[in-house]
Amino acid sequence: MADLNFENKLIIDIQEHFRENIIAAKVKRQKRVEIRTNRESIESVLLYLKEKQGFIHLAHISCVDWMEENRFELVFILWQPQEKINVLVKIDVNRLNPVAPNIDYIWSQANTYEREIREMFGIEFEGLVGRRELILEDWDDMPPMRRDFDTLQYVMDNYKFRSGREDAQDVRETIAKRTGEEIPEIAKKYSR
Amino acid sequence: MNTLVLLLLIFFGGGLLTYLAYKISKVVGDILIAILGLAGAYVFFTVSSQTSLTFSLGGFTLGLGFSEYSWIFGLLLSILAPLALIYSIPYMKGHDRLEWFYMLFLFVIGGMFGILMAKDWVTLFIFWEIMTWSSYLIILYSRKKGLDKIGLKYIFFSAIGAYSLLTAIVVIGGTMRTLSIAETISLFGVLPLKAQLLIGILLITGFGVKAAVMPLHVWAPDAYTNTPMSFSAIFSGAMSKMGIYGLGLVVVNMYLNHGIGSVGHWLAWFGAFTALFGTFYAVVQDDARKLLAWSSVAQLGYIVTGIGIGTKLAVFAALYLALLHGLFKGTLFMAIGAVERQAGTTKFSELRALIRKMPYTFLSALIAIIALAGIPPLAGFVGKWMLYESLITSGHYWVVIFLFFASTAGFLYSYRFLFGVFLGQEEDDYKDVKEAPALMTLPMLLLALVLIVLGTLPGFIFKPLAYSMQGLGFTDISYHMSVLTNSWGNSVSLPYISWTLATVFVLFLIVITWVNHKGTHNVSTKDIHTAGEPPSEEDNYHFALDFYKPFMRSIAPVFKYSITRIYNAIGRGIEDFFEYVRRFYTGNAQTYALYVIIFFAILLLLANQIF
Amino acid sequence: MTFWQILGIALLTILIAFITGLFYMGIRRKVIARVQNRYGPPVYQNFLDVMKLWSKDSNIHHGIMQHLAPLWMISMSIATLLFVPIAYKSHFWTNFTFNGDLILLLYLMVFGSLGFALGVGQTGNPNSAIGVSRGLTQLVGYELPWVIALIAVMIQYKTTSLTDLVAFQQQHHTWIAFQQPFAFLAAFLLIPAMFHYSPYDVIVAPAELASGPISEFGGKYLGLMMSSSSIFMFAKLALFVDIFLGGAQNWLWMIIKTLTLYMWPVLWSAISPRYRTEQSIWSVWKWPLILSVLGLIIASV
Amino acid sequence: MNYVLNDRESSKIIEFIKNFARKNSLWIAAYGTGCGAIEIPPTMTSRYDAERLSIRGAATPRQADVLLITGYLAVKTLKRVIRTYEQMQDPKYVIGFGSCTINGGMYWDSYNTIKQLGLYIPVDVYINGCMPRPEAVIAGFAKLQEMIGKGEANGWKHYKENLEWYRQNQQRLIKNWKMPDFNW
């Protein structure tokens, strides 16, 4: 068992520092720590991690759509180069009123990630500057990465398929016949 | 009445008359100046070199009358002046205080004619000062911000020139007991070398200011830029030639014809440096007028070099270039004036793509630029060819390298001028720009036509030039209508060039227009290849800022290196000296005036030594 | 000779130069392919390219200057060709060689590029304008040592005429390359720059400028450009051969010499990466400039 | 020698010569649209050397004859491709490259890539595969050359004649249609 001194110390430090604002904190595994906090203190947590704990690099901001629980989860992935350690800082954002704090004054690269999340999930960041269009162009439908966006339906509505290829089953069967393998059940189900 | 007096009367009396006419009605004034300009030109052509007028004053004989040498400058003036005056009528429309402007304008022209017909130094000096002061007042005319400084710079340098001229005249009068120019020239050989050098260098300084030779050029770019363009055409086109006229008198008539060549060679080097650095400065300008002004400085450098070398072909080339510079720079200043009037600005960073809106202006500017760049088959090439050949055949190949380099770098600003003003992406701001009125385009097109004709048949101008050269002591000028020959016997036949180029051009024009003409379409400048991205209305991909960045980047280390080396060589001690010298430049006009007087006094003291 | 004879010979000269130039370009592509361990296109590929460009059904231009742009090039190329001696002492192939000299050619060779640059300017494509800015900068760069080298030759032989230079070399059975080696070396080093081949191809740099000045030209305009550049290329090579390599007595020698000479920029370009603009200027202001100045000093003493 | 070519025959001969030149000089608009662009370098360089078959890259659409759609095409890219295609000079050819251009390929259910290239610009030759190897690419070019030689590669004419239909398809995907007119 590798020693988890730094990880544990980090959790203790941050809990001491922020107390009840840290909803949960645990060592997921070696070199990976997960901290869940609330919207109000996310900026100070990130600043604390950057200035006091040496997590100088924001690797990514990712977003998870927990549609059933009616929330988005924003994950700020930070990196500490000395200890080579990742911290995932998570907050929840209400799915009905998706507004999150803007952190691009802490790391300027956050701007791009936030624009992408804004475009793909429809989460607004307070005071985010930048063109609304990043990857998509002229998109007027629901933000496409939300789970209630029906991709297949959208594709069927907007694109025409070449006739005779509604079902890719013939290709699968040909390949299966050629290689002599069984078509798995899931593949049989998952077809047009 | 004597035609000389008539000529002066047309411009000086006409100037006063114009003042009154504009007070009465602008239309009357407009008609009057056009008539005066044309009448002046007409009267000039009726003057023969025999016509003269003498009177005596205080023991000295003063006189008026064109010499062979000055006649060619009069020719240039009488071509350029009426065209500039006619051009000026629509150009200056809507300005106030026109009566002052035109009066001074006519005084300048009259002053120049006076200089050219002066047979003695005193008359020359009087007209010189009339010309200088009138042009100074024209600089102040437009009442723009910062003009007082520019005017001060101009009048300061002019004063240096005037005082050296005056000192020289005093020395001449003192040593030779004559004020006649012709007698001065013939008696010049008798003088001791010291007096010869003193007189010559004073005169060269005096004339060199107007000819914008390198250390004395500082006033020129600003002054050429900040007068109304109709006057700039004369200012740069003709007035600078008064300096050339004087330099020719001094260098060729006084020095070379009496066997002193070294001063001319120094002057040639000054000219070469002027050409090179004038070109470099022209390349980096953002204002089209500034570009033209610096290019004038550079072009005058070529002419000064030609005069300084002083061989037959070199002087011939210099005079030819002087004439030609008047023509093409006149055209260009008129063209940029038209652009300024129609589009409201002359900055490359603001102007773009006026070619469709102002086709005639573009055409004349194009022709003038080709002539300026010295590219065959237009007239500029003839001058460049003669100048280079004269330098190479007379063994001045280090000078010719400078000139060659300058003229190659000259392509840069030539292209910049046309591209920045007339070509590039079209802009909606200039959608409503119209072509300039016919009275403005016609003079330009006329001058451009002359440039085209002279490119193939320079013999038309060689004849008066050869006549003028007699005044400089070159009597056996042989020339051909369209063949140029150097002293090694190599020749260039111009019709072959122009006809080949023209024939092939027209032939392929027919071919390329005819082939598949149905499938050929004109598209807008928005419709360009931009990796598929269609430019929106607000996008404009015009490339105007830092156009020659790579050029400046590549020559920057050369300058840096040389400056560093100079600093290292001279050492740190020199800085104290610079610090001390800096105190002279107080920025106060009276201090400058004091310096001028001190300078004048020193010159007089020096002059007294020789008496 | 009558007018029609002169015209016929001139046309024949142009035709031969055109065909030879296109073949040279084909050979260049072949050679570069072989250097890169490829098979390469057939040597007559450029004929097909030119034919294809002329057979394009539609063409666009952005205005009159772009329409005229290739014409400046073609008239300059043909005029240059007609002023360059091809065959020594041949009355037949004289063309206009006795009516021009080196200074004329120096200036004539700029005529086309400047005219073309005007057309390029009218397209409004920023890449093209950047290409022109770089091209003119390079022109200023290589023109300096080139002119010094030519002046060295001119003052050494006291003539500015090309025919005189060729006559001298042919009569004395020598090459100026041996008599004035410094000027020759300087000019020799400048050839890749004058052809704008790699490493001096920053003007057309396809990857960064989208072929620079010609990026808005297609169809017949590009076809005419290719035709004229093939003629111009041959004229430039012939000019160099006339000055330094003894000229030629007939077309065969001219073609042998020019082709051999042409291999130098081609092979050099096959193995060279691209200079930036200022690097290309500094490179021609280093050895070529030093050598040409040496040549001038030697010629002048 | 009494036989004189009539108009039809002479134009036929001219057409033959033109087609011969066209098929033996194919310049590709170098516009890598999808992942298939990675197959082009080996096709052009020494391993397969497409230049020996008179195929070479051109820097801009103005000079190019062939537009290679290398793989999937996002809607955003489609706009630029249409622009590029319209900037090319007639005659111009399109090669659809990879399965994605035929029926969407592995991106068949992606909301942002088109499924059938032929609906938006006329495709002369499709090359199947995901990705097609350089041999297949060269085979596709050989097919195109054959078609040009016979005068069958007329996608550009088809596009001109059915511009309305193509525009309809294009504008259904590209909602903010701000493009210069198709003017040649």
Residue D31's H or E segment, with its range, is none
Token code pair at residue B65: 């009358």
| Separation between Cα atoms, residue D137 and residue D115, nearest integer Å | 20
- How far apart are the CA of A116 and the nearest CA of chain D, in angstroms? 15
> pLDDT tens, B291-312?
888 888 888 888 988 888 888 8
> Mean pLDDT, to the nearest integer, of B479-483?
80
Q: What is the pLDDT of residue B49?
A: 64
> Mean pLDDT, to the nearest integer, of A9-20?
86
| Separation between Cα atoms, residue B15 and residue B33, nearest integer Å | 9
> Mean pLDDT, to the nearest integer, of B210-219?
79
**Is residue A77's pLDDT more than 90?**
yes
- φ, ψ dihedrals at D125, nearest 5°: -135, 135
| Separation between Cα atoms, residue A140 and residue A153, nearest integer Å | 15
Q: What is the pLDDT of residue C19?
A: 92
Note whether A155 contacts D109, CB cutoff 8 Å.
yes
Residue C71 contacts D, CB cutoff 8 Å = no
More confident residue, B593 or B81: B81
| Inter-residue contact B62 to B120 (CB < 8 Å) | yes
Token code pair at residue B142: 């437009």
- φ, ψ dihedrals at B119, nearest 5°: -100, -5
Q: What is the pLDDT of residue A164?
A: 62
Provide the residue ranges of all domains of chain C, joining segments of one domain with +. 3-300
| Chain D residues near residue A138 by CB distance under 8 angstroms | 174-176
The confidence band for B267, taking pLDDT boundaries of 50, 70 and 90, is confident
| Chain C residues near residue B356 by CB distance under 8 angstroms | 63
More confident residue, B281 or A111: A111
Torsion C153-C159-C163-C166 (CA) sign: negative
List the single best residue of A140, A147, A149, A159 to mutate versus D (max D Cβ within 10 A): A159
Of B59-63, B387-391, C176-180, C252-256, the range with the lowest mean pLDDT is: B59-63
The structure tokens 């020096």 sit at B606
| Inter-residue contact A14 to A22 (CB < 8 Å) | yes
More confident residue, B545 or A36: A36
Q: What is the pLDDT of residue C264?
A: 92
Strands D66-70 and D93-97: parallel
DSSP state of D117: G
Q: What is the pLDDT of residue B429?
A: 78
Residue C126 contacts D, CB cutoff 8 Å = no
**Is residue B532's pLDDT more than 50?**
yes
The confidence band for B561, taking pLDDT boundaries of 50, 70 and 90, is low
Of B60-74, B463-477, B568-582, D74-88, the range with the lowest mean pLDDT is: B568-582
Q: What is the pLDDT of residue B148?
A: 76
- Is the preceding omega at residue C199 within 30 degrees of 0, hence cis? yes
> Mean pLDDT, to the nearest integer, of D104-116?
84
Residue A190 contacts D, CB cutoff 8 Å = no
More confident residue, B506 or B455: B506
pTM of the model: 0.86
- Sorted by sequence, the CB contacts under 8 Å of residue B40 that are 6+ apart come out as B7, B10, B11, B14, B78, B81, B82, B109, B113
Of C40, C60, C218, the CB nearest to D51: C40
Side chain identity, residue B599: F
- In sequence order, the β-bridge partners of residue A37 are A22
Of B278-287, B404-413, C14-23, C188-197, the range with the lowest mean pLDDT is: B278-287
| Chain D residues near residue A164 by CB distance under 8 angstroms | none
Which of A113-122, B119-128, C154-163 is modeled with the greatest confidence? Answer: A113-122
* % of chain B residues with pLDDT over 70: 91
Q: What value does the CA radius of gyration of chain B take, rounded to a whole number of Å?
A: 25
Which of A46-60, B187-201, B421-435, C81-95 is modeled with the greatest confidence? Answer: A46-60
Q: Which of A143, A31, A44 lies closest to A91 in space, CA to CA?
A: A44
**Is residue D183's pLDDT more than 70?**
no
Of B30-34, B347-351, B558-562, the range with the lowest mean pLDDT is: B558-562
Note whether A162 contacts D108, CB cutoff 8 Å.
no
3-state secondary structure of C286: coil
> pLDDT tens, B416-433?
888 888 888 887 778 888
The confidence band for B218, taking pLDDT boundaries of 50, 70 and 90, is confident
| Chain B residues near residue C57 by CB distance under 8 angstroms | 516, 519
Note whether C48 contacts D21, CB cutoff 8 Å.
yes
Q: What is the pLDDT of residue B562?
A: 47
DSSP state of C99: G
Mean residue pLDDT across chain D: 85
- Sorted by sequence, the CB contacts under 8 Å of residue B517 that are 6+ apart come out as none
The confidence band for B166, taking pLDDT boundaries of 50, 70 and 90, is confident
Note whether B516 contacts C59, CB cutoff 8 Å.
yes
Q: What is the pLDDT of residue B611?
A: 45
- Is the preceding omega at residue B550 within 30 degrees of 0, hence cis? no
**Is residue D91's pLDDT more than 80?**
yes
Of B523, B529, B531, the CB nearest to D183: B523
Averages of pLDDT over runs of 10 residues in chain C (301 residues) are 83 90 91 89 90 88 88 90 83 75 86 87 86 88 90 87 85 86 90 88 80 85 90 91 86 89 91 87 88 88 78
**Is residue B47's pLDDT more than 80?**
no
Note whether D80 contacts B533, CB cutoff 8 Å.
yes
Chains near D (3 or more Cβ pairs under 8 Å): A, B, C
Secondary structure of B468-526 as H, E, C letters: HHHCCCCCCCCCCCCEEECCCCCEEEHHHHHHHHHHHHHHHHHHHHHCCHHHEEECCCC
**If you measure CA to CA, which chain C residue comes closest to D42?**
C38
**Is residue D118's pLDDT more than 80?**
yes
Strands A71-80 and A57-66: antiparallel
The CATH code belonging to domain D11-173 is 3.40.50.12280
Q: What is the pLDDT of residue B575?
A: 55
| Chain C residues near residue D65 by CB distance under 8 angstroms | 52
Neighbouring C-beta atoms of residue B606, cutoff 10 Å: 14
Residue D62 contacts B, CB cutoff 8 Å = yes
- Sorted by sequence, the CB contacts under 8 Å of residue C251 that are 6+ apart come out as C16, C86, C87, C93
DSSP state of D116: -
| Inter-residue contact B151 to B166 (CB < 8 Å) | no
> Mean pLDDT, to the nearest integer, of D106-116?
84
| Chain D residues near residue C206 by CB distance under 8 angstroms | 30, 57, 59
Neighbouring C-beta atoms of residue D70, cutoff 10 Å: 25
Q: What is the pLDDT of residue A63?
A: 92
List the single best residue of D51, D154, D184 to mutate versus C (max C Cβ within 10 A): D51
The confidence band for A192, taking pLDDT boundaries of 50, 70 and 90, is very low
**Is residue B203's pLDDT more than 90?**
no
- How far apart are the CA of B408 and the nearest CA of chain D, in angstroms? 30
Domains, chain A, in order of start with CATH, read 5-136 (3.30.460.80)
- Sorted by sequence, the CB contacts under 8 Å of residue B206 that are 6+ apart come out as B161, B162, B164, B165, B168, B246
Neighbouring C-beta atoms of residue A150, cutoff 10 Å: 12
Of A145-149, B59-63, B501-505, the range with the lowest mean pLDDT is: B59-63
The confidence band for B577, taking pLDDT boundaries of 50, 70 and 90, is low
